[in-house]
Amino acid sequence: MNHKTFKTIENQFIQSNGYMRTKEFMNAGFSYYYLPKLKEEGIIDKIKRGLFRWGEMDFRGFYQYIDVSKIIPNSVFCLYSALELLELSSYIPNLYYVAIERKRSYIPKRPEYPQIKVKTFSGNNFSLGIMSIKIENQEIKLYDMEKTICDFVRLKFDIHVLKEALSDYLIHPKMDLDKLTRYAKILRVDKTIQKYLEVLI
C-alpha cells in the first residue's frame, strides 16, 4: 500500500470518528483487500465481524465503552458500567453492562472480548433516565445516577456496591432527591430506597 492510499484511508477513519464498518469502507471507494492487511499490521483493530477501529485513535482509556456501544447499537450502559461512567463507585467491573429495549427481537452477536452482559428492559424500566455523554466526539448513552441506583435495588444487585454508590450520590453536587424519589415510585422500589436513605442521611 502506497503512502497516499494509507493517508486517504487514515483520513476516512478520522472523519468517521475512528470507526468504520466494512460496507462504509468499501462505499468510500477502498478495496476490501486493505482491511486484513491493515489489521495484520496492527493499524486497525477488529471490534467484531464487519466493524473496525483505527488503532492509533486516543480515547483516553474509555475506548472500550465506545466499542461496546458500536457492538450493541441503541444500547444504554447500566448498573456497574453506568456507575463507573458516573464515578459513583470504586468497583471496577470485569464486563460491560448494557440495557436494550425488550421489544427488539435481535441482539447482535457479541465477541469474546470485551465481555458484554445484555439486560432486556421494557417500558419505564428501559426509557426512564437515559442520558448521553461524549467520549472523543463519540456519543454513548447511559442511565443517570437516580435510575442506576433504582436499578440496583430493583434487580437486587450487589448491596455493598449499592451502599457505596448511594453514599457518593448523597454528597454529589448534582444530587436530586426529588428525582430519586420520583424514579423510585415509578419503578416501584420507593419503600426500599427510603429505608436506605433513612440509614444514610
pLDDT tens track for 40-82? 888 888 876 777 877 766 554 577 888 899 889 899 999 999 9
Q: Which residues make Cβ contacts (< 8 Å) with residue 197, sequence separation at least 6? A: 166, 177
Mean local confidence (pLDDT), 20-28: 85
Classified as helix, coil or strand, 179 is helix
> Over 90: is that where the pLDDT of 190 sits?
yes
Which residue, chain included where needed, has cell 456496591? Answer: 161
> Over 60: is that where the pLDDT of 20 sits?
yes
> Over 90: is that where the pLDDT of 5 sits?
no
Q: What is the pLDDT of residue 105?
A: 56
> Over 70: is that where the pLDDT of 15 sits?
yes
Query: Taking the CB of residue 27, how many other CB atoms lie within 10 A of it?
Result: 10
Q: What is the pLDDT of residue 106?
A: 66
Query: Taking the CB of residue 105, how many other CB atoms lie within 10 A of it?
Result: 5
161-187 tens-digit pLDDT: 998 999 999 999 999 999 999 999 999
| CA-CA-CA-CA dihedral for 104, 84, 44, 16, to nearest 10 | 60
More confident position, 109 or 41: 41
More confident position, 139 or 14: 139
As a three-state string, the secondary structure of 84-122 is: HHHCCCCCCCCCEEEEEECCCCCCCCCCCCCCEEEEEEC
Q: What is the pLDDT of residue 49?
A: 74
More confident position, 64 or 132: 132
Q: What is the pLDDT of residue 71?
A: 87
Q: What is the pLDDT of residue 165?
A: 92
Percent of the chain scored above 90 by pLDDT? 42
